[in-house]
């Protein structure tokens, strides 16, 4: 499946391969191998932490549950993890290509326009009552380039609409290798 189809499926379901909101870090690591740790989200707290699986940027809470996912498309290429290997795909997708794929998949969306960012907008889907997917488009290839007729997909974000409270960590359990 082409990347635009995979992202349309993500917008419709909230899932991209083994990655979805609420999945455990150990389950994603079992599917794709150990992640690259990218550090804490806050300098004041040990958790949540950022981890990368190929080009996918994830955030896991203290109880090792996925709280957000970012698919960065602005780099031109994206490394997608797989069960056997990482694959590199071209990541330039236009808004007309993306909306056509969303329509073909029967996915509904809302347009989110930003008051202060006139050259950026998002399409937002709600695959479940709790999960949102935002597809962020920009009107320029780069800051200095002219406006485009067909905007390009910059990134895709997946997040929850509800707060999650981690249960206490049982200190008698062995360290899972991702830090306490």
Specify the pairing of strand 15-16 against strand 56-60.
unpaired
Instruction: Specify the pLDDT at position 173.
Output: 65
pLDDT in tens, 101-129: 999 999 999 999 887 777 889 999 999 99
pTM of the shown model: 0.90
**Model confidence at 6: pLDDT above 80:** yes
**Size of the chain in residues:** 180
Residue 123 burial (10 A CB sphere; 0-12, 13-18, 19+): buried
**Model confidence at 1: pLDDT above 70:** no
pLDDT in tens, 138-176: 998 878 888 889 999 999 999 999 888 887 776 766 666
Per-residue HEC secondary structure of the chain comes to CCHHHHHHHHHHHCEECCEECCCEHHHHHHHHCCCEEEEECCCCCCCCEEEEECCEEEEECCCCEEEEEEEECCCCEEEECCCCCCEEEECCCEHHHHHHHHHHCCCCCEEEECCCCCCEEEEEECCCCCEEEEEEEECCCCCCCCCCCCCEEEEEEEEECCCCCCCCCCCCCCCCCCCC
CB atoms closer than 10 angstroms to residue 72: 15
């Amino acid at each position: 499946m082409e990347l635009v189809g995979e992202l349309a499926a993500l917008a419709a379901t909230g899932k991209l391969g083994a990655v979805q909101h609420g999945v455990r870090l150990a389950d994603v690591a079992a599917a794709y191998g150990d992640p690259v740790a990218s550090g804490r989200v806050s300098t004041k707290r040990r958790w949540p932490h950022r981890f990368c699986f190929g080009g996918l940027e994830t955030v896991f809470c203290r109880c090792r549950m996925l709280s957000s996912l970012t698919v960065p498309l602005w780099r031109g290429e994206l490394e997608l993890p797989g069960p056997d290997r990482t694959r590199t795909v071209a990541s330039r997708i236009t808004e007309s290509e993306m909306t056509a794929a969303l329509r073909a998949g029967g996915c509904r969306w809302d347009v989110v326009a930003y008051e202060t960012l006139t050259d950026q907008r998002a399409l937002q889907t709600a695959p479940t009552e709790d999960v949102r997917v935002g597809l962020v488009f920009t009107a320029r290839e780069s800051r200095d380039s002219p406006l485009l007729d067909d905007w390009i997909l910059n990134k895709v974000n997946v997040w929850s609409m509800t707060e999650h409270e981690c249960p206490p960590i049982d200190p008698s359990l062995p360290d899972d290798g991702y830090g306490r």
